[in-house]
Amino acid sequence: MKLSSLKKSSSLDKLTKAIEETQKPRYAKDDDRFWQPDVDKAGNGFAIVRLLDAPEVDGEDGLPWVQSFNHGFQGPGGWYIENCPTTIGGKCPACEHNSTLWNSGIEANKDIVRKQKRRLTYVANILVVSDKNRPENEGQVFLWKFGKKIFDKIQEKLAPEFEDETAMNPFDFWKGANLKIKIRQVEGFRNYDKSEFDLPSAIAETDKEIEEIWKSAHSLQQFVQPDQFKTFDELSERLNRVLGAGGAARATAPVIEDDVAPWDEPKSEEPKATAETTELSENEDDLAFFDKLAQE
């Protein structure tokens, strides 16, 4: 697609539909394509970024983000930090095990599920507008991995809840808006609740500059390809080692407490839960926590 065609088109409807669908990977630990905001000693941080439209790369599906699930928890046999194959419609032994525990009716098992559930993350391209801690990043295009709280803010712009609010596509190069990332330390964890979008504005002064930014974007679909996920048998073997040898022992295996904030309660207490019903609300700080674990 040419930039002139992109400028004339409106992808708001397409993105709104994608948001609706999201409601019903394994990343290289030293990948310099990724950016994350820094915080000071008090745990506070501030940066401004601009979300970019879908990259002009063969094989992309036209959406400016990809989403994936992963697991990260500790058991008697060590840490289980793996991409969840449900991301690409596959079967996941950890999700199946969680469903068994949840349906046992034992409250202690439900507590284990809350620690072992799959977590949702997103990846998008961004232009770093302001990064005072690392000014060399300003004006550069990076990949950014973020969680549900930031995605909810994107969703609020794409599909406003109230009729007096106007829908806005934050990814639009001309009519989108910068995202002001505001990080606070709340009860020992990073909190992004005060992050907000600025007023709409063009990402650059000329279409030539915009095209240069657009062509600098990275492929997103690479992170949800089958080779990013281990096989069911490989994951089962790892899960058994982490939780202990089979059967009932696995169902009641103790999980060592980590420093992740508590999960929200499930929305329903249906007698037959599935892997999807054990997916609870995301805590933004889990991303930094499990990135750290993966590097240790």
The domain containing residue 8 runs over which residues? 3-295
Report the percent of the chain where pLDDT is more than 70.
73
Average pLDDT over residues 154-175: 94
Average pLDDT over residues 238-247: 78
Helix 148-158 vs helix 12-23: angle between axes, to the nearest 10 degrees? 140
Residue 62 tokens, joined: 């036209």
Average pLDDT over residues 264-274: 35
C-alpha 125/C-alpha 104 separation (Å) is 42
Residue 231 tokens, joined: 């096989």
C-alpha 210/C-alpha 3 separation (Å) is 9
Number of domains present in the structure of the chain? 1
For 59, 159, 212, 229, 233, the CA distances from 62, given in Å and listed in that order, are: 9, 19, 18, 23, 33
Residue 20 confidence class, pLDDT cut points 50, 70, 90: low
Mean pLDDT of the chain: 80
Residue 9 confidence class, pLDDT cut points 50, 70, 90: low
Q: In this structure, what DSSP letter does residue 292 have?
A: H
pLDDT digits (tens, 9 = 90+) for 55-73: 887 777 789 999 999 999 9
C-alpha 67/C-alpha 72 separation (Å) is 16
Q: Let me know: does 134 contact 38? Beta carbons within 8 Å.
A: yes
Residue 187 confidence class, pLDDT cut points 50, 70, 90: confident
pLDDT digits (tens, 9 = 90+) for 190-227: 899 999 999 999 999 999 999 999 999 999 999 999 99
**Residue 261: CATH number of its domain:** 3.90.198.10
Residue 287 tokens, joined: 């991303």
Residue 269 confidence class, pLDDT cut points 50, 70, 90: very low
pLDDT digits (tens, 9 = 90+) for 79-133: 999 999 999 999 999 999 999 999 988 999 989 888 888 999 999 999 999 999 9
Prediction pTM value: 0.73
Centre a 10 Å sphere on the Cβ of residue 245 and count the other Cβ atoms it contains: 10
